Structure 1
Amino acid sequence: MLCEKPLSFIIEINCFMNLICMMFDISLLFLKKSDPLYFMLSLIF
């Protein structure tokens, strides 16, 4: 059981990151590329 725990933890983090990336991509669709916010976000990510 102890051996499986880290792996499931990594998978959960991976899913969480994928979800964040998806939300970020969707939010970018609503932003215009000339928007300063878009530029700031693209620098951060």
Structure 2
Amino acid sequence: MSQVKPLQEITINLNGHHLTAADPLTPEAEEILTALSIPTGH
């Protein structure tokens, strides 16, 4: 059984602009979240 890594996200404030960077989901993680009806934001 493989593990799904926790989602990691960081928000950067650059001169008043909030930028969010996140690790991309693997295809396997996307399938699992889709099967659970959890939106991935992609």
Larger relative contact order (CA 8 Å, sep ≥ 6)? 2
Q: Which has the larger radius of gyration?
A: 1
User: As a proportion of its length, which structure holds more strand?
Assistant: 2
Q: TM-score, normalised by structure 1?
A: 0.27
